Amino acid sequence: MKSFLLMLVSFAAIFIILNAGYYKEWFTAKPVQYWSDFLKEKDDTLDQAGILRERYGIVYTICMRVKDVMAKKKVAHPVILFEPNSYYRDSLHVYPNIHAPEPALFYYYTGLEGVWTNSPDVAKANFLVRMSKKGIQLDQITSPQQLQHVLAFYKKYPPSL
Amino acid sequence: MPFLVYLLLLILYLVSGLGILQLFGLRLKPAYTITLSLLLGIALASFLPFLLQLLYIPLTGFTVFGVLTLAAILLSIPTVLRIRREGPGGLRTTLVPAHFQVQPYEIPFWVIIGFLIFVSVWRCYYLPPTSRDALSGPEAIAEFAYREHTLINSFFKVDLWSTNNQFKSPFLICLQLIYKLAGFPFGQVWLSPIFIGLIVFLYNALREKVHPIIVGILLLLFIMTPETYAYTFMILYDYSNMVYMFLGLYFLFAYFSAGDKRNFYFAGLLIGIATYIRSETLALALLFLPPMIIAQRREKLPWKKIAISGLLFFLPAFIGYYLPNGVYIQHYLPVHYDVGALVNSNLGDVSPLFKRYGDIVNRLLVSGFAIKLWCYIFFVTAALFVAEAVFVRRFTREALNWLYAIGILYVGLGLLGWVLPVVDLNDTTKRGMFKMLPLCLMYLANNTLLIRLSQTVSRWELTPALPKVAGKPALAAGRSVLTRSGKTVAASGSGPGKGASAVGKTAPASGKTTPATSGSRRKRKK
């Protein structure tokens, strides 16, 4: 009988914690949601790439598109220049939904070398990724003059995470 | 196949960890032995591929799993010797509980905690690593180490100006590499045994002090801290660092209580592991030097011996700091990291230090943002602390130890933020606060009011069932008793040791508890 009463106390304590203040909000938004995700995920047929796409979102998808294009074009040593994130934030107002990955992250995703406008190796850039609400555009940089022109355009937008 | 390898790895960890425990001569209760063996094995596994790298041995499946197996074989020698000495029964009592007793009212807590653990484990397994600090450093290095068989790989050839995460400890890199080699493309699954190991350890440690219902409530408050829970399935350093630092302090305080040097040196090893995971732990650990000296002076040890034991205590931490930072980063990596350049150049101005202390309280402890990080665990701790200070006006020695640790962490995190401005408030200091959570839990388990409440509930629960002794009902086994002097003592069968009879120096009459059965092989033979 006493064990039963203590068991009721246990249930009451758990009930109170799960419904107290922010615990309730968090428990519903996180563990319960994660459980719902699990019920879907356990039966899904996504492969590794699909899981990565779903988890990392649009930026990962863009990076992989760049990789696919480079593979199709059979570019020997592509170096991808990204626009500064401050440009997306202050000019296009699409940040942070759309943002440029930092070179380390781009390499992790794709195995390709990426640079930002202030990178020491920016002179090696031979492609420029332009992102906007309308889509993604990959421009080839064919000459140092063209690269300087591009860098001059983004000069007032310092790169940032 | 990967799951088979996963199980085999767990066995290797258990064997290696058990061997390390034997080397320290620690005889603990099965729950502690198993969780500590697992955690020690994982720590060792995180170190061995790094060691191979230091020796320029390629990191292939053969070499990595080979060295893990070799380590397990070598470290099983002390265990084998023990089996030969004591027979298989000796090991069985180490790993299998003599009587496993569960009260029905514990089960609801187990169910909800089990649910939270399950969800965490699934996300660890199913989802790729996500934190930017992992992806732009250790996880990327591990991925390319998997492809190129070296930690010093092509990742270091790309532009890394936007990150310093490539200089983080090899702990995470090596564990990620092991699990990628085992067939888990996202790695991560090593984090779950660390999480579960901590929970099991904490459950047992708390159960020695307070009633199981209070244990359930405390543990639930701990697991349901939103920020910390997220890091049970999002690999980074801070959760693991919290686990090993807490365990180190647990055994250090056990030494303070019982005076068993094995606990002291074992604590040194655990703090060394925590330092290997996050190098700034060394600075925090050094702040525990004063109570260590006081404890040893109380034992009337000469200064020379204190100095030697202090050096031995900090030796693992120095190794854990120096190998990755002094040797690996400076002499192996193609890019270097000048920690000196990160030091605050204006240390004469202490106002930022006090501002940081204020920010820790105002932003990370009592704000709306703090509630979203930790929910109410700090408020509960503070309320019970004030209640104890007002109504009891005395703290047990164990409670004081944990309160000291909380204070030291607060002081240390503020100092680190002041000396190294790169230790920012909202990321590094915030995650450093993880370490405070198990300390709060252990303080609460030693809070006099909660202990009295536990005793009242236990008496009520057991009164009709047990015979009365000297007019008073016997206390429930496995809970602590508050003495008149304000000390808590383990009741029969409690303590990480295997029972009060084996507590040796720490018999209940001494008013101290200890995690080890300390010994007393002589007693056991009797």
Does residue A154 contact residue A122 with C-beta atoms inside 8 Å? Answer: no
Of B161, B213, B226, the CB nearest to A9: B213
The residue among B162, B180, B184 with the most chain A CBs within 10 A of its CB, best to mutate, is B162
Q: Closest-CA residue in chain A for B159?
A: A103
Q: What's the mean pLDDT in A101-125?
A: 93
Q: Closest approach of chain A CAs to the CA of B274, in angstroms?
A: 27
CB within 8 Å: B107 and A161: no
- Cα distance between residue A112 and residue B193, in whole Å: 34
* Each residue's pLDDT tens digit, B196-254: 999 999 999 999 999 999 999 999 999 999 999 999 999 999 999 999 999 999 999 99
For every residue of A47-85, DSSP letters joined together read -HHHHHHHHH-HHHHHHHHHHHHHHHHT-SS-EEEE--H
* Each residue's pLDDT tens digit, B428-477: 999 999 999 999 999 999 999 999 999 999 999 888 655 545 444 444 44
Q: Closest approach of chain A CAs to the CA of B335, in angstroms?
A: 14
Of B103, B128, B159, the CB nearest to A121: B159
Backbone angles phi, psi at A138, to 5 degrees: -115, 110
Q: Which of B251, B269, B364, B306 is nearest to B23 (CA)?
A: B269
Tell whether the model's pLDDT for residue B48 goes beyond 80.
Answer: yes
Mean residue pLDDT across chain B: 88
CB within 8 Å: A10 and B112: no
Q: Closest approach of chain A CAs to the CA of B507, in angstroms?
A: 30
The residue among A108, A110, A112, A118 with the most chain B CBs within 10 A of its CB, best to mutate, is A108
Q: B31 or B500: which carries more pLDDT confidence?
A: B31
pTM assigned to the model: 0.89
Q: Which of B500, B494, B457 is nearest to B479 (CA)?
A: B494
Q: Please report the pLDDT score of residue A60 as a whole number.
A: 93
Q: What confidence tier does A71 reach under pLDDT thresholds 50, 70, 90?
A: very high
Please list the alpha-helical segments (H only) found in chain A: 2-19, 21-27, 33-41, 48-56, 58-73, 85-87, 103-110, 144-153
Confidence check on the interface: ipTM exceeds 0.90, yes or no: yes
Q: What confidence tier does A20 reach under pLDDT thresholds 50, 70, 90?
A: very high
Q: What confidence tier does A76 reach under pLDDT thresholds 50, 70, 90?
A: confident
Which residues does chain B have within 8 Å of residue A101's beta carbon, measured at their own beta carbons?
Answer: none
Which residues does chain A have within 8 Å of residue B450's beta carbon, measured at their own beta carbons?
Answer: none
> How many Cβ pairs within 8 Å bridge chains A and B?
135
Token digits of residue B389: 């200070």
